Amino acid sequence: MAKEDNMPVSQRLVEIKVGASAPSEEELKARFGRDIFRDFDVNDQGFNDHMVEALDLQAQHCPVAHSKVGEGYFWLTRNDDVRRVGQDWRTFSNAKGYMPNRPEGMPYIYPIEMDPPKQTAWREVLNPLMAPKVVDSFEDAIRADVNALIDRFIDKGHCEFISEFGVILPGWAFFKNSLGVPVELLGDLVHSIERSLFGPLDERSAQLSRAFVLLDQYLKQRAKEPPRGDMVDTILAGVTYEDGTPASWQDKLGIAADMTLGGIGTTTYVLGSVLHYLAMHPADRKTLTDNPAMMPNAVEEFVRMFPPVIGSGRNCTRDVEVAGTQMKKGDWVLLAWAASSRDAGVVDNPHTLDITRPNVMHTTFGVGPHRCVGSNMARIELRVSFEEWLKRIPEFSLKPGTEPTYETSQLRSMSSLHLVW
């Protein structure tokens, strides 16, 4: 078990202890550069630099934070509220997208930006492709790719983990085994998708549109070829909606974009964060090295502590009250998945990373109809990566004089992590 006191300074709770009174507006501004209760901005640099502290304070003291950015939005942090809203798609709709203040011209990605029954039609054909038994059949191939990446740098005694492993393995695992998009497209797609998530706000729409162009070209090429039995074939076959209308080409393209974004835009943060954590906590590292059977449970605790999707948006379809806060039809609500997994009301000692924690409760993969379709794939990527790394590099540490760097919007990613052994 690793205590909060052993965490790097950048991951410690603010000096205001659990159970203390709520910090004042002046204290919040001094620490984060703005009042994260009444003037929150998920894209703010202060939130990026002190994300864990901010989430802990919000979960403890502010069940509904408010943002004044653009058209504004509410930020829900308590587990019960997040689950309620995530499951009530009729009141809290995804049809206007997952982000407030959407850049003009940004294309929609599906099925995350659809409501049932359209969303249900797509999930019914996508879910079987990501079922546990199907994903389990990918394990040997993923394990081989993990080792192929480690082979590239193990003899050097050091690596920059993100560029040499963290951004490569998720794409290899998903593209080779499930989606069916060639890995040759990975470099361009990773760049465009990362910039659409974390780049300057005025460039995000263009970057996502560029990813759409790449996928559009590939799907049109595949449509002319014999089926291969992969996810691309399923997307091209499409679905028929409840009203008898077949899915449009734009719908199919949006599905391919969402699967690509989820497949390559999320797991990197967990991979990097866990390697950083294990580099700083030799006792837990040795426990997992000596007891690999503990890894599946540890993975659940890791994804609870290091959620890549910080918050996802919904739009109110009617006037409603949440946690004592009145919301009007058309208001934006962001579900802070990352904060709700740190809610002391449902998780004992939520600030402590405990690889032995029984029945790990988290909302990292979401709840309700939009729960992550790729959660089984993510779990196997993480488990196999950590198992093979600890077999081959059981002793490693953070390169002296370095710290990991991060990028945060509604998602979180690690930009650099220098390890030595």
Phi and psi angles of residue 325, each rounded to the nearest 5 degrees, phi first: -110, 125
Query: What's the first-to-final CA gap in the chain, in angstroms?
Result: 23
Amino acid sitting at position 350: P
Q: Calculate helix-pair angle for 204-223, 249-264, nearest 10 degrees.
A: 110
Token pair for residue 301? Answer: 């605790």
At 19 the pLDDT is 52
Please choose, from the candidates 215, 195, 37, 189, the residue with its C-alpha nearest in 3D space to the C-alpha of residue 103: 195
Number of domains present in the structure of the chain: 1
Planar angle of CA 193, 216, 139, nearest 5 degrees? 60
Phi and psi angles of residue 147, each rounded to the nearest 5 degrees, phi first: -70, -35
pTM: 0.92
Amino acid sitting at position 239: V
Residues 6+ apart with CB under 8 A from 75: 40, 42, 58, 64, 65, 66, 67, 311, 334, 336
Token pair for residue 397? Answer: 């540490």
C-alpha–C-alpha distance, residues 161 and 104, integer Å: 35
Displacement of CA 237 from its chain's centroid (Å): 28
C-alpha–C-alpha distance, residues 267 and 166, integer Å: 8
Whether residue 100 is preceded by a cis peptide bond, meaning omega within 30 degrees of 0, is no
Q: Where are the beta strands (DSSP E) in 149-290?
A: 158-160
Token pair for residue 285? Answer: 């590292």
Enclosing domain of residue 303: 4-420
Question: Which secondary structure element, helix H or strand E, spans residue 192, and what is its range?
Answer: helix 186-198
| pLDDT tens, the chain, 421 aa long | 333 333 333 333 345 454 568 899 999 999 999 999 999 999 999 999 999 999 999 999 999 999 999 999 999 999 999 999 999 999 999 999 999 999 989 999 999 999 999 999 999 999 999 999 999 999 999 999 999 999 999 999 999 999 999 999 999 999 999 998 888 888 898 889 888 888 888 899 999 999 999 999 999 999 999 999 999 999 999 999 999 999 999 999 999 999 998 888 789 999 999 999 999 999 999 999 999 999 999 999 999 999 999 999 999 999 999 999 999 999 999 999 999 999 999 999 999 999 999 989 999 999 999 999 999 999 999 999 999 999 999 999 999 999 999 999 999 999 999 999 9
C-alpha–C-alpha distance, residues 321 and 304, integer Å: 28
> Which CATH number goes with the domain that contains 149?
1.10.630.10
